Structure 1
Amino acid sequence: MNNIVEFLNQTAQASPALIALEDSHQQLSYQTLAQRVDALAKWLLQQQVPCIALHGGNSVDWVVVDLACHAANVICLPLPLFFTPQQIRNCLEQAGAELLLSEEILLPGQCKLDLKQALPGIAAWALPERYHCWQLPYDSTHHLPEGTHKITFTSGSTGTPKGVCLSKDHQWRVAKSLAQEIAINQPRHLCLLPLSTLLENIAGIYSPLLCGGTVVLPNDAERGMLGSSNIDSHQLLQCISKTQPHSMILLPQLLRLLVAACQQGWKAPPRLRFIAVGGGRVDPQLLLTAQQLGLPVYEGYGLSECGSVVALNTPSQSRSGAAGKVLPHCQVRIDDQEVIVSGACHLGYAGMPDSWYPNDIHSGDLGHLEDGWLYIDGRRKNLLISSFGRNISPEWVESALLAEPLLNQCVVVGDDQPFLCALLTASTAVSDSQITQWIDKANEQLPDYAKVRQWLRLEDKQLLPFMTANGRLQRQQLLKAFNLQISSLYQQQK
């Protein structure tokens, strides 16, 4: 098999009635999915557009469009729902997208197509009715490196985030590696992250389908996702309990939420076999606590520029403290402490020819290797150097503070300062005295130079402007915005 669509068609012939996708509105067997993908691919070919943008929430229809782009060799540009109209325009311009499918009316004044009239006849049912279709005045010819099949934007924190260009073969190799290493036959996978997130797109759709699995696709409201960073924990837990999945993908914040829920009596579905967690360093103690509570959690590491996952712990091989075993489709080396990946490189950034066709990806992450296991020690650009000359990775201290689910977010500061401070958020149910007690306890595990001496409590909503698509905080922008408050923390100790 050369790609996901060929494998889909093979599965449709071997097991036509097997359920491939389901959401609250529809359920598709592998046979029906293959038919819908084929019909939509033919329509896309009729439009003769090289690049199509997809703007919508998680649904069966989203997956159909994505797979149809594979089948038609059309470039797919997924757009996060929380991008502003200006960010969306910037993305469309950078990629040179000629067509936009959107659940919202984003571009009044542009040429709108009637999907039902565009493809008359028996195949018209294959077109997702949820989308408005807009013809755009852009041209992708000179914007993208040759071989581009998908463009994923790495961050929503700026007006012009970079568009990572990936080939079809690259996505296929990552999906095959994950399917091979996780090795769960016919998994029931619950998509909790937005499908516009590359990790959920590849590891949450392609890999389960390669294993003959069923992908469950609740919308934002059904899984308790309120905007880009707010969560209705009760709704999220109810969604997981109702779905009874075998596998899920979590960000560290979602893992802390599940751990807190388990500590308060919530029971994870007994059929859960694999929970991947990525998007940031996770403290080994938090992982151990989660596993002791019955959550089969396994840390992974990856980059959009590398097609998502590079290293992963799995049920068959796991090592405490490691980000994971390097996957077979790529190679990792360490140069001057930096993690460098080869064999799994993106094609470059949209609209940036100087970045095209790299041989290596310099991650910017500090790490080390032990017998094929990758350990992440922090970010090179985030490294703090105290006024006493100590080099401190803030992620190391932050993961210690986030080892218990008391805090929601935490950013450690202290470059060129005599000690460390922290900006943090917590639930309104958590008191300041509880935070103080927890920080004192966490400090006991840290050397003197890495202890947090002062902290500032913020509200979660104050951090929203500084959150990326995958839940990471934009550190430098945050520190700049709260510079006066940070300075006052150090003044208090003088």
Structure 2
Amino acid sequence: MSQILEAIKNHPASNAALISGSRTLSYGDMVMRINHYMNSLQGVESLAVHLDNGIEWILWDLAALQSSTPCVPIPDFFHADQVSHIMATAGVSHMVDSDGIRQINKQDKEQQPVRNLPPGTAKITFTSGTTGTPKGVCLSRTGIETLAFSIQKSLDNKFATRHAVILPLAILLGNIAGVYPTLIAGGTIFIPPLSEIGLRNPFTPDLKQLTSYLRAQKITSVITVPELLRGLLSIRAALPDMKFMAVGGAKVAPELIAAAREAGLPVYEGYGLSEAASVVALNTPLYDKPGSVGKVLEHIIIKIENGEICIKNDAFLGYLGQTSGDWFRTGDLGFIDNDGYLHISGRKKNIIVTSHGRNVSPEWVESTLLAQPGIAQAIVYGDGESTIRALVVPSHPNADIQQSILNANLSLPEYAQIKAYQLTQPFSATQGTLTANGRPKREHIIKKQLTLESI
């Protein structure tokens, strides 16, 4: 049996477990509903969950976990082509959406499904696709539950009294890192539909609506991303009941942490990966060092090899169609200080991680831009920022760059779209902006641009 379900059964049956809008589900009722949903999962090979945040999402997810049915969360922010790719490659046999559970017809799929999942796969989470094609990460139930208990152990139960899910449940920070530890601790989870708290589109949030909800419900803990935190600071959000705000998904500037705390927001930075089922390290009220990402959770083994952070954990079984090795190379550069805190110092590759926590390959976006007749050269940037920006070289003097960008954005999901651009001189080897074989000197170009912007 699932250890999380065992923990849930040990809590007083009448205590409130899940609250969404006017609906409240007690721990006792939740167990009964999970058992009911498990009956619907008989014969299901793998289940895609495509629902807005709410009680039903959590019930189906826990029913799948208990019945050892691989669960495939579908994020709403994925492009239709990305969703089609997920459905095909994950071998989804059934989907649950607002209309209930239904079988997926083979003709609805682009290709034959991948049947050979790693043994023990409980959840297949898809990254936001650095190249535009989401990559399926297979996670084990044992590893997922070990992580959930590890997070709960690192925090006192008082910090999980009234936890609100303000990130999509389809991402691991909202689901495994937020929901599971709170249920283990016996807290109450508030899961409003995202539209009810101003987050239907996370890229254009209604921060006053979000703040109003958190205050009205006397929320004590949330998990958020840097961009949302910046937004809350910008409106001087007052959250007197808040005891713990974990922020992750992208690098957080120490200045942002300091400003948040000065404003009365109890913010603690963490670090995680899909390949670790979400959290790797976390600052907490008991162990906190601003500027670090916290202490590594006790179940994770970590080493620094040539400056790169490598981890070993029981959760990661491999990517779809691949097996995992003993050690996972994160691509992040960092070190562990003398007090045992992990620090992130940079990224080994060019991947842009926006402040919304979305991973974007610049080459992917640039190739989309270069497909437009009016654009001859382009470099995109925006690591740690809320939007992706572009430096553009027109292909001719009369090129309509604005229209070219709009056309390119049509084929990109919103998190990868170009929101601002600037015209620039052609890149060339003689100017030092191209290599001898014609590749842009990305780091040099971006560094120069950021210097100009700072003047």
For residues 161-181 of structure 1, give each alpha carbon's deviation from its aligned partner in whole angstroms, at most 9, with x where no partner exists: 101100001110110011011
Mapped contact 2:79–2:413 kept (Cα < 8 A): no
State how far apart, in whole Å, the 1-side matches of 2:2 and 2:37 are. Answer: 20
- Specify the alignment match of 1:314 in structure 2: 284
Partner residue, 1:126: none
Contact 1:299 1:323 in 2 (8 A): yes
Q: Paired residue for 2:182? A: 208
TM-score, with length taken from structure 2: 0.77
The reply on whether 1:190 has 2:187 as its aligned counterpart is no
Q: 1:368 matched to which residue of 2? A: 335
* Paired amino acid for 2:186: G
- 1:40-439 → structure 2 map (5 Å cutoff): 40-45=37-42, 48-103=43-98, 130-131=99-100, 133-137=102-106, 142-155=115-128, 158-185=131-158, 187-262=161-236, 266-268=237-239, 270-350=240-320, 352=321, 355-370=322-337, 371-382=339-350
Question: Would the aligned equivalents of 1:86 and 1:159 in 2 still touch at CA under 8 Å?
Answer: no
Structure 1 residue 184 displacement after superposition: 2.3
Q: Find the aligned partners of 1:464 and 1:19 in 2 and give their Cα distance.
A: 44
Q: CA deviation at 1:86?
A: 2.3
Distance, in Å, in 2 between the alignment partners of 1:163 and 1:236 is 31
Amino acid at match of 1:60: I
User: What is residue 386 of structure 1 aligned with on the other side?
Assistant: none
Q: Is the 8 A contact 1:229 1:464 kept in 2?
A: no
Q: State the Cα distance separating 1:83 from its structure 2 match.
A: 2.2
Runs of 4+ in 1 over 2 A off after TM superposition: 82-86, 130-143, 156-160, 420-427, 461-469, 481-493
Structure 1 unmatched runs, 5+: 104-129, 384-393, 403-410, 413-419, 428-460
Preserved CA contact (<8 Å) 2:300 2:311: yes
Q: Residues 468 and 291 from structure 1, CA distance in 2 versus in 1: closer, same or farther, beyond 3 angstroms?
A: farther
- Partners of 1:375 and 1:44 lie apart in 2 by 43
The change in CA–CA distance for 1:463 and 1:180 in structure 2 (over 3 A counts) is farther
Aligned residue identity for 1:376 = I
Please tell me the residue identity of whatever aligns with 2:289. R
Is the Cα contact below 8 Å between 1:277 and 1:300 reproduced in 2? yes
SS of 1:149's partner is strand
Which residue in the other structure is 2:9 paired with? 9
Offset, 1:482: 5.7
AA aligned opposite 1:8: I
Shift of 1:478: 6.4
Query: Contact 1:157–1:466 at 8 Å: present in 2 too?
Result: no
Residues 484/349 of structure 1: CA separation in 2 closer, same or farther (3 Å cut): farther
| 1:406-452 deviations in Å (ceiling 9; x for gaps) | xxxxx99xxxxxxx99769999xxxxxxxxxxxxxxxxxxxxxxxxx
Aligned residues: 391
Q: Aligned partners of 1:342, 1:36: CA distance in 2, in Å?
A: 35
In the TM superposition, residue 337 of structure 1 has moved relative to its aligned partner by 0.7
One-letter amino acid of the structure 1 residue matched with residue 29 of structure 2: T
TM-score scaled by structure 1? 0.71
Cα separation, partners in 2 of 1:342 and 1:33, compared to 1, 3 Å? same
Pick from 25, 29, 32: which aligns with 2:29?
A: 32
Letter in 1 for 2:269: E
Q: Which residue of 2 aligns with 1:446?
A: none
- Gaps in structure 2 of 5+ consecutive residues: 363-378, 387-405, 428-444
- Letter aligned with residue 331 of structure 2: G
Q: Which residue of 1 aligns with 2:435?
A: none
